[in-house]
Amino acid sequence: MQKSNYGTSIFDRLKQTCSNEWKDYCHHEFVERVGDGSLPLESFRLYLEQDYVFLIHFSRAWALAAYKSSSLRDMQWASEILHSTLNVEMDLHVRFSKQFGVTQSELETAPEYQENLAYTRYVLDKGQSGDLLDLYVALMPCVVGYAEIGVRLELDYSSTLAQNPYREWVEMYAGEEYQALAIRSINNLERISVERGGNSRFEQLAETYRQATILEIGFWQMCLESD
């Protein structure tokens, strides 16, 4: 993934403070088995169901980001992602899930697993109890982590990707559109950090980032253990 326009950004610093957790997240066994195509279909089906539930709460978080914004610029960015998630990504998710035998009805009625609930409510709580910067930091492991994972998997498993049943998933997150979204997210985080005193609050923000990363690990493990 390309770097942001800010050089060593707050995002780079946040990753450095939890480098072990970040590695466990981006190199989790679930991720590697998606990359080499060995993940059991049942595990991926569970992931699709739980990710659909996650996207609903992810949308709520971006709606909250619009509310927490103090400028039209930030409101527009939050509403752009909210619109894209609700009106584009969720529809794509439904169509993609059908390829793996998961119907829209099954997505809409899927029970929310504890690991999913813990992660999404943590993000929403950070947004509700804190400010826009707290919410952005809690969201970043998901937004940018998937971009890093996609690029690495496409590179590491390039020789077998054509036969991989999960190729479309890898290529989506490695693709130019999602990579551009990740870069814009990093740039927005850096700008908001400057505006809202991120340096003076860095230890608190780093703990939020670390906890969100740990909860991402739990999300992968939840899906893997369905095997």
For 132-177, how does the pLDDT look when each residue is reduced to its tens digit (9 = 90+)?
999 999 999 999 999 999 999 999 999 999 999 999 999 999 999 9
Using alpha carbons, select from 118, 136, 140 the residue that is nearest to residue 126.
Answer: 136
Contact 182, 1 (CB under 8 A): yes
**CB-based contact 102:43 (threshold 8 Å):** no
- Confidence band for 226, pLDDT divided at 50, 70 and 90: low
pLDDT (tens digit per residue) in 84-131: 999 999 999 999 999 999 999 999 999 999 999 999 999 999 999 999
Q: Mark 155-176 as b/e (b = at least 16 C-beta within 10 Å).
A: eebeeebeebebbebbeebbee
Q: What is the CB-side half-sphere exposure of residue 211 using CA atoms within 13 A?
A: 18
Residue 10 has pLDDT above 60, yes or no: yes
Q: What is the pLDDT of residues 126-144, one digit of tens each?
A: 999 999 999 999 999 999 9
State what percent of residues in the chain have pLDDT above 90.
94
pLDDT band with cut points at 50, 70 and 90 for residue 3: very low
- Vertex 194 angle, CA 129 and 175, to 5°: 85
Give residue 5's pLDDT: 42
Alpha helix positions (H), 27-113: 29-36, 41-68, 72-84, 90-98, 104-108
| CA-to-CA dists, residue 176 to 51, 72, 159, 161, 203, angstroms | 22, 26, 20, 18, 33
Measured CA to CA, the distance from residue 103 to residue 50 in angstroms comes to: 13
Would you state the pLDDT for residue 37? 98
CATH class of the domain defined by 10-224 = mainly alpha
What does the alpha-carbon distance between residue 116 and residue 101 come to, in Å, rounded to a whole number? 22
pLDDT for residue 181 is more than 60: yes
Average model confidence (pLDDT) across the chain? 94
**4: pLDDT strictly greater than 50:** no
Q: What integer is the mean pLDDT of 194-209?
A: 96
The candidate with the shortest Cα–Cα distance to 136, out of 175, 191, 86, is 191
Enumerate the active-site residues: 142, 216
Residues 6+ apart with CB under 8 A from 212: 119, 122, 123, 137, 138, 139, 140, 141, 142
What is the pLDDT at residue 2? 47
Q: What's residue 221's pLDDT?
A: 97
Q: How confident is the model at residue 225 (pLDDT cuts 50, 70, 90)?
A: confident
Residue 43: which pLDDT band, with cuts at 50, 70 and 90? very high
